[in-house]
Every structure is written in structure tokens, then in C-alpha cells.
Amino acid sequence: MLAEKLLLQMLIVLAPVLFYSVLLEKSRWAESPYLSGILNGAAASLSLLFSFYEYGIYWDLRYIPLVLAVLYGGTKAGLIVFASLLLTRTYLGGDTLVYGYIAIFLALSVLLLVYRKFWKCTPDKRWKMAIVIGFWPVIVQLCILFAIVEEKQIIFPVTWYQLTMYCVLFGCIQIIGVGCAAILNESIIERSYMKIEIQRAEKLNTIGELAASIAHEVRNPLTVVKGFLQLMERDQTLNSKQYIPLVLSELGRAESIISDYLNFAKPEFRKMEKFNAADFLHDLALLLNPLALKNGVVIEEIYKKSVLLYTDKSQLKQALVNMVKNAIEATDQGGKVSIILEGSNAEAFITIKDTGKGMSEEQLERIGTLFYTTKDKGTGLGTVVSLRIIESMNGTVQYDSKKGKGTVVTVTLPAEESQVEQDQVTKELVHN
Ligand code: ADP
Ligand code: MG
């Protein structure tokens, strides 16, 4: 029976960690100290309510959520757990109520003093420190227990030795509980850091590759401008005015290529905004046109519906840049990559179609797995990052491919139909 009760207690106090690991993937709320406080507060209260009676004393693991909330959520989370423990303890009542209050207060106050030091430790030292900190509530509990025994002169049905052993065992379980939860928390934190790091690495890689093609592309207008200037210098009689618009338009093109690139490369801020999907895709096509030209591929744009998207523009750009880049890289000279936009009730369909080398069944199955690449300089991160981003926007991605024929990637995103009717636009981006 005791084992069952202990298991129930363990489950209750570890549940917030499990919830947390799920929420961290799905919601931005997960980092809020209030959520940590509420989850751990509920666990602490439940632990108190389901405490078990043995040897004339109530036993529970209520301090584990308190320790975890203070260490991982900070003062606010700790105070929420403190409040919920006080309320639940008051509800339970009994003649040792005052001792209960004192114990909770003592446990919290020292935790609040040490938690800043905790965050100065390296991650692999943190769980060890959590275990050391976990001793404090156990010591408080034992002192309070002996104070109650002294004052109330309780007669136990067991000897002092047995009771002490029981207390030590229970204290060990609490400390092990804190240790397990801290290790779980650390692995969750590490995983989320790794996710950010992978995203950053892929972006840096993409930026590097785009920079090479863009530098090449910017050189062309500059050569044209240089040519005109040399011509004007040599022939003073030349009516130079007629060339100025040409020079300006070449410089304008170089400028827009560079500003598109900088727009992509600059650090992103999480910003939700509403924008026209067709305009967005056109900018994307312009950004990738230098790369397409370098590979001898034509980008075709077909916009059938006018739809509005509401999401983080730079994140979406990162996701789609990689898909279009993959399409361009898979396509041989003379091939075509199409960016197609369609829409139907509350959904936008962005299709990236290429006439490239396509993928076999096995390749299709492996796409989206970390580090899977068939390229010499590939990272195998791009698709993983793209899929994650689209998923976090509540969208889906579907890959269809035939070896030797080409690939069709369909991205579905939640959208609004725009009031303005979109004339069906089809254009090919070519070198001007
Ligand atoms: P990387 O581009 O660095 O190789 P990705 O995750 O972007 O990594 O792509 C993984 C692999 O998926 C590529 O190496 C390629 O073999 C395959 N792939 C992705 N998109 C396409 C496509 N449109 N056509 C053919 N193969 C593709
Ligand atoms: Mg790629």
C-alpha cells in the first residue's frame, strides 16, 4: 500500500515537469513564471490533499514543487506555490496548523535566498545543486516534526528508532524527487536551446550561400554603370543626360538586391503582422532570383488568389527560402521553379514546384530528418527548420516527388481571403 501511495505522490509532483516539456514545444506561454507557479502550485496542493497517514503523521512530497518552482520559475512562481500551499493547509486545518505555516515559510525563505546562485552554475552543476538545496525543506520538516512531538507529547505506535528511519527514508525520497525533476528540467532546457541553435546554424549557412550569388549578381549592374561612366569621361561631347536613367535604374536594381538580402539576414524579431501573400512571395522570388540565375533556372510566379496571412513574416521567409533554394538546387540548367499561390476558405496554399531531379521513395521518407542531406556542402537542417516553423504556424507541408521528374511541395497555412480581388498574375522572373 505504501508503495502505491508513494508512487501517486511522485506522479503528482513530477506532472508539472511533463506538462512543461509538452507546452514548451507548442506555446510561447511556457516561459512565463506564472505558468510554472500555477502548475507547481496545483501539484503542491494535490500532494497535500492526497497525503498519506502513517505512524500518526501525515506524509507528502509538497516541498518538491516548491523547490522546483523557485529554482526554475523564480520569485513569482515560488510565491504562487507558497500561496496555494498556505490556502490548502488552512483548508485542511487541524491543531498543528501553525507549525505547517512556519514550515512552509522557512522552506520558502531560504530557497529565495539561494536561487540566484543556482542560475550562476553551469547546467551540469545545476541538478547537483538542486539536490543539495533539496536537503533544506527536509531539514525544516524534521525540525518541525520533532517540535510537534515535543509539544504535544504524541505517543507513536512505533519505536523512536523506527520513526527516525522512516523519516530518513522519506527525506531521501524527497531529495531523489528533486534531483529527478531537476535532471528532466535541464534536459528540456537543453533541447530548447538546441532547437534555437539549429535554426541559427541553418540560417547562417543559407546567408553564406545567398551572399555568394548576390555578390555576383550585384557586380553586373556595377559593371554597366562603370562602363557608362568611362564612356562619358572619354567622350565629353556625348549627351550624357540620356544615359542617366539607365545608370540610375541599374543602381536601383543593385540596391534592391542588397536590401532584400539584408532584410533576410538581419536578426529576426518575433513580430506578428498581417500581409498580402502574393507581395510576400514576389519579394521572396526576387531574393532568390540571383541564385536561380547562377544555376540557370527560371523562377515562375503564379498568383491565383489574393490572400492575407497573419504570422511572423521573417520566420515564414526563412521557411520558404529553404524550400525554394532546395528546388533551385535540385533543378538542372534550363529548368523551372514555380511558386504558386492559391486559396480557399481560410487557407492559403503555397506550392513550390520544380522540374528537377526529384526524390525516390526512400529519400522522400527521410526528408525532414535531422542532418539528412545528399549534397556535398549540405547541412541537412533546412527542411527540418522549415517544417518546424510551418508547424508552429499551425500549417502543414506535403512533399510529392517523382525521381527524374521533379518535386512539388505544398505548404498550407491559415489565411484570410482578401477583399481586393487578385487578378490572376503569372510572371517569369528573368534577367533584365
Ligand atoms: P540541404 O539542403 O542542406 O541538403 P535540406 O534539409 O534542405 O538540407 O534538404 C535535405 C535533402 O532533401 C536534400 O539534400 C535533398 O536531397 C532533398 N531535397 C529537398 N528538397 C528537394 C527538392 N525540391 N528536390 C529534390 N530533392 C530535395
Ligand atoms: Mg536546403
Atom of ligand 1 nearest to the CA of 202: 3
- Alpha carbon distance, N-terminus to C-terminus of the chain: 81
Q: At what angle do helices 160-234 and 382-392 cross, to 10 degrees?
A: 110
Q: Residue 310 and residue 252: Cα distance in Å, rounded?
A: 30
Domain ranges of the chain: 2-201, 230-265, 272-431
CATH of span 2-201: 1.10.1760
Instruction: Write down the H helix ranges in 235-346.
Output: 244-265, 277-294, 313-330
Instruction: Write down the H helix ranges in 93-159.
Output: 97-118, 123-152
Name which of 252, 141, 261 is nearest 212 in CA terms: 261
Q: For 272-431, which CATH class?
A: alpha beta
Residue with CA at minimum distance from ligand 1 atom 14? 373
Question: What is the grid cell recorded at 154?
Answer: 504524541
**Residue 341: CA count within 13 A, CB half-sphere:** 29
| 253-259: long-range pairs with CB below 8 Å, 24+ | 253/221, 253/432, 254/218, 254/221, 254/222, 256/286, 257/214, 257/217, 257/218, 257/286, 257/290, 258/214, 258/218
Q: Residue 339 and residue 33: Cα distance in Å, rounded?
A: 43
Report how far ligand 2's centroid is from the alpha carbon of 308 (Å).
Answer: 27
Report how far ligand 2's centroid is from the alpha carbon of 324 (Å).
Answer: 9
Report how far ligand 1's centroid is from the alpha carbon of 191 (Å).
Answer: 24
pLDDT per residue rounded down to tens, the chain (432 residues): 677 888 899 999 999 998 888 887 666 666 788 999 999 999 999 999 998 877 767 788 989 999 999 999 899 999 999 999 999 999 988 777 888 889 899 999 999 988 888 888 888 889 899 999 999 988 998 888 888 877 777 666 677 788 788 888 888 999 999 999 999 999 988 888 888 888 888 888 888 888 887 887 788 888 888 888 888 888 777 777 777 888 888 888 788 778 777 767 766 667 889 999 999 999 999 989 988 998 999 999 999 988 999 998 888 988 999 899 999 999 999 999 999 999 887 899 999 999 999 999 999 989 988 778 898 877 788 888 888 889 888 999 999 999 999 999 999 999 987 766 555 666 676 543
Q: Is 258 helix (H, G, I), strand (E, B) or coil?
A: helix
Q: Is 380 in the pocket of ligand 1 (CB under 6 A)?
A: yes
Q: Which ligand is nearest to the CA of 388?
A: 1
**Residue 205: CA count within 13 A, CB half-sphere:** 17
Domains 2-201 and 272-431 alike in fold: no
Task: List, in order, residues 6 or more apart from 31 with CB less than 8 Å away.
Answer: 24
Neighbouring C-beta atoms of residue 142, cutoff 10 Å: 15
Q: Residue 305 and residue 413: Cα distance in Å, rounded?
A: 14
Q: Are 322 and 308 contacting, i.e. CB atoms less than 8 angstroms apart?
A: no
